Amino acid sequence: MAGNSIGELFRVTTFGESHGVALGCIVDGVPPGIPLTEADLQHDLDRRRPGTSRYTTQRREPDSVRILSGVFEGVTTGTPIGLLIENTDQRSQDYGEIKDLFRPGHADYTYQQKYGLRDYRGGGRSSARETAMRVAAGAIAKKYLQQQFGIQVRGYLSQMGDIRCELKDWDQIEQNPFFCPDADRLEALDELMRELRKAGDSVGAKVTVVADAVPVGLGEPVFDRLDADLAHALMSINAVKGVEIGDGFAVVNKRGSENRDEITPEGFLSNHAGGILGGISSGQQVIANIALKPTSSITIPGRTINKQGEAVEMITRGRHDPCVGIRAVPIAEAMMAIVLMDHLMRNRAQCNDVKSDVPRW
């Protein structure tokens, strides 16, 4: 099937280019009867929006989303929800000079070779601007999960360059432009950002996403495991190069005796597994990490070729984030919420009648 959809039962399909007329998406499969307004979506869109701090691109987009269908008298009807964000600050002239060359580390080359042509304005479809629609769609999932099941999906910046940010305080996250849960790291982050701006360079990041109150039983073995679907959804975010569930790559040099999560009548004693066993949620916190590469949109000159295959040197002008990982936090939350929502519906379809006397915590 064509590649712009995600989810089976809660199904999100997006369209739109960075500098096209508009971005849009269709969210199909939303349960009926859920109160929903544009404001519900705007909150997360504003968290992702460019131009909100000096650390992100200065492109100024209000990113105002309109609900075009699927909501009647303030409540979802069960029919597909059409969403639209019109592009306003497009400044295509910024991009004329990259029309005929391939920015290294970007999708310019691969789009050109796959499709035989490309919309070069701001990366066209390959721009992370597309993720605005994911955030809007994810907000619908988040609202349903929270309201019907008390499930909360939250993310934070867990590392930027060498600076690690521990989860000290969830509340801190919304109070700084880094989504950093550790106030003691803010100064260091600010310093790194200023250094990068000066150097015209960028840096990678790690983002952690956590879902609380996920019921046991979500995930469809064998292939559509909850962890496999999370890996798919998170790896589909622009610039992501790695995905971990629970302890992730740290398990490589662990022993079974330390890594297994023992169980007592009061519950699990640890959560190395990140809340997923055999592809199915265990009722613990679901935890995932993603690694985001440093953007290649930097002002340090780099070598590349043009369409004729000639060597050229280029720098990326335009408006770019020195660390794209920051704004990835609401995107990663959205993707996890979409996956959980989809699996909640899938589980309900097949296992609706299941009852169990076995303890859950």
Closest listed residue to residue 297, CA positions, set 270, 260, 258, 323:
323
Nearer to a second copy, 184 or 310 (CB): 310
Residues numbered 24-53 forming contacts with a second copy, rule: CB under 8 A: 24-26, 28-33
Amino acid at 335: M
Work out which of 202, 209, 210, 333 binds a second copy, going by CB under 8 A: 202
With CB under 8 A, what is the number of residues at the site for a second copy?
163
Give the nearest distance from C-beta 57 to a second copy in angstroms: 14
CA distance 325 to 330: 10
Asked if 63 is part of the footprint of a second copy (rule: CB under 8 A), the reply reads: no
- 127 among the known binding-site residues? yes
Work out which of 208, 229, 333, 336 binds a second copy, going by CB under 8 A: 229
CA distance 338 to 209: 13
Work out which of 204, 271, 285, 319 binds a second copy, going by CB under 8 A: 204
Work out which of 11, 59, 142, 327 binds a second copy, going by CB under 8 A: 11
Binding mask 235-264 for a second copy (x = CB under 8 A): xx-x-xxxxxxxxxxxxxxxxxx-xxxxxx
Nearer to a second copy, 171 or 350 (CB): 350
- 126 among the known binding-site residues? yes
- 348 among the known binding-site residues? no
Residue 23: C-alpha distances to residues 42, 52, 246, 324 (Å): 14, 20, 34, 20
Stretch that binds a second copy, among 48-56, 57-65, 179-187, 298-306 (CB under 8 A): 298-306
User: Are 273 and 245 in contact, with CB atoms under 8 Å apart?
Assistant: yes
Give 259's DSSP letter. Answer: H
Amino acid at 227: D
Asked if 156 is part of the footprint of a second copy (rule: CB under 8 A), the reply reads: no
Cis bond leading into 354, ω under 30°?
A: no
Contacts of 281 (CB under 8 A, 6+ apart): 214, 215, 216, 217, 218, 219, 226, 275, 343
Asked if 315 is part of the footprint of a second copy (rule: CB under 8 A), the reply reads: no
Nearer to a second copy, 1 or 171 (CB): 1
Residues numbered 169-188 forming contacts with a second copy, rule: CB under 8 A: none
Residues numbered 107-136 forming contacts with a second copy, rule: CB under 8 A: 107, 109-119, 124-126, 130
Asked if 54 is part of the footprint of a second copy (rule: CB under 8 A), the reply reads: no
Residues numbered 64-83 forming contacts with a second copy, rule: CB under 8 A: 66-70, 72, 75, 77-82
Q: Output the CA torsion sign for 36, 41, 43, 44.
A: positive
Asked if 318 is part of the footprint of a second copy (rule: CB under 8 A), the reply reads: no
Contacts of 222 (CB under 8 A, 6+ apart): 279
Residues numbered 323-342 forming contacts with a second copy, rule: CB under 8 A: none
Instruction: Categorise residue 52: left if φ over 0, alpha if ψ from -120 to 50, beta otherwise.
Output: alpha
Give the nearest distance from C-beta 59 to a second copy in angstroms: 18
Work out which of 35, 54, 300, 317 binds a second copy, going by CB under 8 A: 300
Asked if 198 is part of the footprint of a second copy (rule: CB under 8 A), the reply reads: no
CA distance 40 to 92: 31
Work out which of 234, 286, 332, 334 binds a second copy, going by CB under 8 A: 234
Instruction: Categorise residue 233: left if φ over 0, alpha if ψ from -120 to 50, beta otherwise.
Output: alpha
Q: Is 275 helix (H, G, I), strand (E, B) or coil?
A: coil
Amino acid at 322: P
Give the nearest distance from C-beta 173 to a second copy in angstroms: 19
Pick out the residues of the known binding site. 48, 54, 125-127, 238-239, 278, 293-297, 319
